[in-house]
A = this chain, B = another copy of it.
């Protein structure tokens, strides 16, 4: 399975979805808990295994998951868990205390289910680009299939019951990953992030809650889960993402008009460093790759394909590097191999 994932470049980050120059990916997540079982954080290990077996059995019968992989988190290495985190298939929390925790993931990585994370079930559907309506159809069909085989904890007045009250109701989190280098470059990003917060959306970094905005990526999601229907929640997010996308588009055009020399300089410097450096940390690599990605979109860089950059965004991550090299690497080794991988992929002259 890991070998397959490592070479799967047709995932959510393939830059082929709608508006994918700015909206990298769309994601919906439903939290569900089983009636009669204690919530995961209060649940003893034997019952966790029961929940895991029950969910796995139900999922195994669903057509959309017929070729899915069923993973017990305790049976794989910490490196493999880290690898799944870097692919956005599991959360940080799911990499820790792995006993009784599970993951079900479809072959194309677009559907995944964490079992016994904060809730018994965290069902996720991903798509490349700006494609919320499409994945809403997919996730609701999956949820219907599951609900026929599992009895959910649900109350008519409160909706779906969840371990954390902020997820109560629809238990839906809708989010889009946006790449906003021009809004960062022109220093307009902070105003936009403030506005998002005022309108009850949150903007987080590349790896969700509590992570920094690396590589100019921002994950925008709904804060509210209660009092609105799922389609309304999705429509609201859609509306705000559309606005931010337009602002980024305008900012990119302005860069070429008003800051032509400085943006060209910044993009080319990023290329120069990526093609020549011998040691590079993940954070720095993400920043330069982000500028390069912008440069390709603006037509400043012509010979590098967006897919190449997207693959690098994923593969330069620490666990990915180690899976590629098939061995555990210390930090300085990683920095060396990361720089080498980047030069190799971007046609650096002196490899």
Residue contact B278 to A264, C-beta cutoff 8 Å? yes
Q: Determine, out of A130-138, A148-156, A209-217, A266-274, the stretch whose residues face the partner at the interface.
A: A266-274
Residue contact A350 to B268, C-beta cutoff 8 Å? yes
The CA of A273 and the CA of B273, in the complex, are separated in Å by 6
Residue contact A272 to B277, C-beta cutoff 8 Å? yes
Among A264, A274, A275, A278, residue most surrounded by chain B Cβ atoms (within 10 Å): A278
Residue contact A269 to B265, C-beta cutoff 8 Å? no
Q: Closest B-chain residue to A339, C-beta based?
A: B265
The residue that A268 contacts in the complex, of B269, B278, B336, with Cβ under 8 A, is B278
The CA of A272 and the CA of B265, in the complex, are separated in Å by 12
Collect the chain B residues with CB atoms within 8 Å of residue A271's CB.
Answer: 272, 276
How often does this chain occur in the complex, in copies? Answer: 2
The CA of A275 and the CA of B277, in the complex, are separated in Å by 13
Q: Does A262 contact B (CB under 8 A)?
A: yes
The CA of A268 and the CA of B350, in the complex, are separated in Å by 9
Question: What 0/1 pattern do residues 325 to 351 of A give for CB contact below 8 A with B?
Answer: 000000010001001000000000110
The CA of A232 and the CA of B261, in the complex, are separated in Å by 55
The CA of A262 and the CA of B279, in the complex, are separated in Å by 7
A271 CB to closest chain B CB (Å) equals 6
The residue that A269 contacts in the complex, of B277, B332, B336, B349, with Cβ under 8 A, is B277
The CA of A205 and the CA of B277, in the complex, are separated in Å by 29
Q: Closest B-chain residue to A350, C-beta based?
A: B268
Q: Closest B-chain residue to A268, C-beta based?
A: B276
Q: Closest B-chain residue to A263, C-beta based?
A: B278
A48 CB to closest chain B CB (Å) equals 45
Collect the chain B residues with CB atoms within 8 Å of residue A277's CB.
Answer: 265, 268-269, 272
The residue that A332 contacts in the complex, of B261, B272, B279, with Cβ under 8 A, is B261
A337 CB to closest chain B CB (Å) equals 11
Residue contact A269 to B273, C-beta cutoff 8 Å? yes
List residues 229-279 of chain A with CB under 8 A from any CB of chain B: 261-262, 264-265, 268-269, 271-279
Which A residues are closer than 8 A to B by beta carbons? 261-262, 264-265, 268-269, 271-279, 332, 336, 339, 349-350
11 A-B contacts (beta carbon < 8 Å):
A261-B278, A261-B332, A264-B278, A265-B279, A268-B276, A268-B278, A269-B273, A272-B272, A272-B274, A273-B273, A349-B349
